[in-house]
Amino acid sequence: MSNSQRFLKTFSDIERWLRQQLHADRGVTFYQLVERFAEKNSSVRRYKEDLKEFADLRNAIVHERSDEHVIAEPNDRAVRDFERIMELLLKPPVIYPQFQKVVKSREQRDPISSAIKDMREGSFSQLPITSNGQFIALLTTETVVRWLASEVSEDLISLQSTEVEEVLRHVEDDNHYCFISKRATLDDALSKFAEVNDRGKNLDAILITEDGKIEQKLLGILTVYDLPEVHKTLAIGQK
């Protein structure tokens, strides 16, 4: 199959998918399909400009035919990138199992020394805190630092006798984490970070459970430090 054939097939598959999603008839142009669905779909919104550029290339291939032969042949990279976009749109990567992991946690009555040790040994900055096994908060290194700063006037700080729940009183924002279903896409996760950022806040982590419910078992965690990996997964030009 030639590059132009592969390209036109990809265009047709994406256009058909967009029409199905929007229940749009043939009178709606490809540009309009992209614009409309981008308003409600984060994946289409991400690749909106790429889709429009590929639509322009498609028009050059289809509308300028001579003796039934195409006069524009896409290069290998253009075809691969377009096919990659189609894959990311029709089968968007989900958050699980890519970010599945055993999530370490501590009880709120545990000494803060134990929590700090876990964070150091595990090289992570966020630690779920539970009460009788039920998640209640997310401890971060920033919260630990704020607690230490509040105690600088004391001559002696006991990490052994100070419980985690006391340190949690120094959390700056209770809404610095959220839960998400394991079936959510990576774009859904990025949207969570963007929504919080748009409010002038920071989202430290997304906690993954079966249905995104707080009372369910933690299946994984995605933090701000994982965002480069997310963007790499969603990038075109590579697979």
Residues 115-167: pLDDT tens digits? 999 999 999 999 999 999 999 999 999 999 999 888 876 666 778 889 999 99
**For residue 238, what pLDDT is reported?**
57
For domain 106-234, give the CATH number. 3.10.580.10
**For residue 73, what pLDDT is reported?**
83
**For residue 237, what pLDDT is reported?**
73
Residue 48 neighbours by CB under 8 Å, 6+ apart: 34, 35, 38
Contact 220, 209 (CB under 8 A): no
Structural tokens at position 64: 């300028």
Handedness of CA 80, 83, 84, 85 (dihedral sign): positive
**For residue 131, what pLDDT is reported?**
95
Contact 101, 95 (CB under 8 A): no
**Integer Cα distance of 130 and 121 in angstroms:** 19
Residues 21-32: pLDDT tens digits? 999 999 999 999
pTM: 0.84
Cis peptide, bond prior to residue 97, ω within 30 of zero: yes
pLDDT lower than 50: segments of the chain: 239
**Integer Cα distance of 129 and 104 in angstroms:** 9
What is the helix (H) or strand (E) element at residue 234, kind and residue range?
A: helix 227-234
**Integer Cα distance of 155 and 48 in angstroms:** 58
- Please name the residue that has the structure tokens 């779920």: 128
- Please name the residue that has the structure tokens 């006991």: 158
What are the boundaries of each domain within the chain? 3-90, 106-234
**For residue 236, what pLDDT is reported?**
86
Contact 100, 218 (CB under 8 A): no
Instruction: Give the ranges where 64-152 is alpha helix by DSSP (H).
Output: 76-90, 112-122, 141-150
**For residue 65, what pLDDT is reported?**
55
Residue 68 neighbours by CB under 8 Å, 6+ apart: none
